[in-house]
Structure 1
């Protein structure tokens, strides 16, 4: 690191530290005001207000609630995005859940928004001496929710201004062009309680949702059940077929199947005439996802055939797998080590979870580190950020430092990352891949 970069980094860090209490307080404030995906209006407004107070001109309302602002540099160069996620997940039993929506910050997205806000403070002190620009983006709907609405709205006219095509926000923002001028992206996520103090270079699964809607025929369940077609039993047979598939997936696919069944609201004395089997399919590659999703659809057809029911199956891609850029991970890691020490770092784990940073990784180099500050397991009622400095202030420091390394000294480091990590797909190719993995099929009654 050159003397100039060291000086700029010191100035950026000093600015963050002067506002550390405010950054931590922002993380805590947002934690206590969770909102579901594509409806994060108060969170987006709070983030936009923070940026405006820093002298920026944020654009709002992107994919309903997304926020975007630009920190211009003093010279031409690549564009680095610092990304945070606005939404909470639906977990009504969480102690901090919103009683009206059931949304709860059981994954730490509030700390991401605070970290990006904090990094903006630090970088505002030094951007005039950097070669390139920084885009600050708050994205909606990282958690998967409202899938039925996305599937059922597939035939909505494309010019509907409020239409959301994709179930996750970064995919939607890619479709809308919000990342068109971005060359690489960084996002800092809180880790699970008891995990490493810091980790980087982890890979994550992709996933899709398979919804199978079974239609049978009602009848008197006591006096003439043979006149009915039991849709709920068809779904149950399909679920057993799913369970029988688990050992057939190759080890390298890292496939996971999670499902639940809902029946109709008919009388207990009637043969159930409708049921829905929803399955989350996770796997390590797009090809493995397609194999596993076809196994789920095949199981649904088998359940319908066994009972003589009708089944409509829709497959909707949720997330693409995440593989970060090693050279970009290196930049982030060397900025995190002074804060928490190399001994506290893990690198290169594979995690069964998913993130739409995997979608970004298909069109640009990304890094998705994990930091401390939380207790409990992600997506559980006991997950909560307790140390907002570790969860938000420290990421603000290492994100700002990483940007200085990337865009300082003529942006040589950013150019090196781009040469070493060419994006697998263009945005049009990515959109074609995503849309091409969606399916609809119908099997009529036997």
Structure 2
């Protein structure tokens, strides 16, 4: 009896790519369905149900309603035990009423391309569950759909926290707390962008701390008796001036961003504003820098209240950590991207380059090997009404193929490459250390005048 000839790694990749190509219209259709049904974080009930139905049709056992709307599947490969590799997509949208494709009631709109992430995650899984592919891999493939990457609607999420429905306000943060990632050894996802190239690999992101700020003054008639009021809006304006006065102290090397919105500025123009609220954000390139810069901003909010005799409460909320992609995973992705497109269609970014934004994939990268490349296909400015996907081949199909090929590299040959990466990875924190740090950030700073 002749020994069975095992397919090579390249043959497995070819089978996965062939299946993705065969079903590309279906895969793109999933992304477009989500585009046309946007939902903001922790409210992605329709999107979650839709992805759950897809998992079921693909024969993927999964848990649902994790952190309200999240999903976690499990695909045991046929080659025996090995590491567990996760492919991730994000369920949520932004809220932009001016976007051409927005929910008429909520203003939810996919102005960051998360619908394509779900599409590419599903596409990669479609390629990987081809029986001849799956049966020649070891370990498990874990598709995960995560809620609430966009850190918006802070007041609403604070209510969810008060109700005990969540502790952390970002989806991957909450998944880490719930232990959803405890059996995951490494994870990857692709994010869309408006670059001309198909792929971009490298770079890092900012840590951030979120602030919910409440100034309390005293209402009075703005024309007849302003001297009897305490103007909470003036307190906020003075605080913002103080923040601006501190900008020269922020180090360029820390890529500091301090920004926010005024969510409540008063009740009527004829009344001295007595209640003013802000949602604010402090970003910096390291966990240490963001904590230090956050304290400067807290001081400014207190100073604004002190100047006019108002009260202030600053609720500091744990935000995200810097993204630290695993170099070996990056190299695997680059190798596979090179087989899918030309060299000049791949942007290689130095890992020290900080794009200024923040993602909770950074949080995950603190506790396990991760990969977070970017893909093209978008037009306009991200997080604005101009951001649209024009090339779904670039934004969905190409990343689906690339991620499927990386998973095959990791889990073929008795998962030798995944085992090597797991052993050699420089883990920044354990999950427990991560949670302890984030909880240490959560605090309420208050000031009230004496008397």
- The answer to whether the 8 Å contact 2:207/2:319 transfers is yes
Instruction: Determine helix, strand or coil for the equivalent of 1:238.
Output: helix
Q: Aligned partners of 1:263, 1:373: CA distance in 2, in Å?
A: 37
What is the deviation of 1:341? 1.8
For the pair 1:413 / 2:448, whether they are aligned, the reply is no
For the pair 1:62 / 2:69, whether they are aligned, the reply is no
- The answer to whether the 8 Å contact 1:28/1:388 transfers is no
Question: For structure 1, which segment, 87-96 or 48-57, has the greater mean C-alpha deviation from structure 2 after superposition?
Answer: 48-57
Q: Aligned partners of 1:88, 1:17: CA distance in 2, in Å?
A: 27
Corresponding residue of 2:238 = 237
* Structure 1 residues 89-128: aligned runs within 5 Å: 89-125=94-130, 126-128=133-135
**1:401 aligned to which of 389, 405, 412:** 405
TM-score by length of 1: 0.95
Q: Deviations over 1:258-294 (max 9, x none)?
A: 1222445433222211212331111111111111111
Corresponding residue of 2:138 = 131
What is the deviation of 1:99? 0.5
* Structure 1 residues 135-284: aligned runs within 5 Å: 135-151=142-158, 156=163, 160=164, 163-191=165-193, 193-284=194-285
Question: For structure 1, which segment, 395-404 or 406-415, has the greater mean C-alpha deviation from structure 2 after superposition?
Answer: 406-415
- The answer to whether the 8 Å contact 2:111/2:384 transfers is yes
- The answer to whether the 8 Å contact 2:266/2:274 transfers is no
Q: Aligned partners of 1:390, 1:28: CA distance in 2, in Å?
A: 14
Instruction: Determine helix, strand or coil for the equivalent of 1:219.
Output: coil
- The answer to whether the 8 Å contact 1:215/1:311 transfers is yes
- The answer to whether the 8 Å contact 1:210/1:293 transfers is no
Instruction: Determine helix, strand or coil for the equivalent of 2:288.
Output: helix
Q: Aligned partners of 1:394, 1:41: CA distance in 2, in Å?
A: 28
Q: Deviations over 1:207-265 (max 9, x none)?
A: 11122211111222223322211111011000111111112111111100112224454
Q: Deviations over 1:383-435 (max 9, x none)?
A: 01111111111111011000000111121111221223132111111111111
Corresponding residue of 2:35 = 31
- The answer to whether the 8 Å contact 1:56/1:70 transfers is yes
| Count of aligned pairs | 439
Corresponding residue of 1:14 = 18
Q: Aligned partners of 1:172, 1:319: CA distance in 2, in Å?
A: 12
Q: Aligned partners of 1:143, 1:120: CA distance in 2, in Å?
A: 24
Corresponding residue of 2:443 = 439
What is the deviation of 1:146? 2.6
For the pair 1:354 / 2:358, whether they are aligned, the reply is yes
**1:87 aligned to which of 64, 87, 92:** 92
Unaligned runs of 5+ in 1: none
- The answer to whether the 8 Å contact 2:195/2:377 transfers is no
What is the deviation of 1:317? 1.6
TM-score by length of 2: 0.94
- The answer to whether the 8 Å contact 2:127/2:404 transfers is yes
What is the deviation of 1:84? 0.2
Q: Aligned partners of 1:386, 1:263: CA distance in 2, in Å?
A: 37
**1:50 aligned to which of 54, 58, 68:** 54
Corresponding residue of 1:331 = 332
**2:381 aligned to which of 335, 354, 377:** 377
What is the deviation of 1:155? 5.1
Coordinate RMSD, CA, aligned: 1.6
Q: Aligned partners of 2:377, 2:442: CA distance in 1, in Å?
A: 38
- The answer to whether the 8 Å contact 1:151/1:316 transfers is no
- The answer to whether the 8 Å contact 2:217/2:231 transfers is yes
Unaligned runs of 5+ in 2: 1-5
- The answer to whether the 8 Å contact 1:190/1:391 transfers is yes
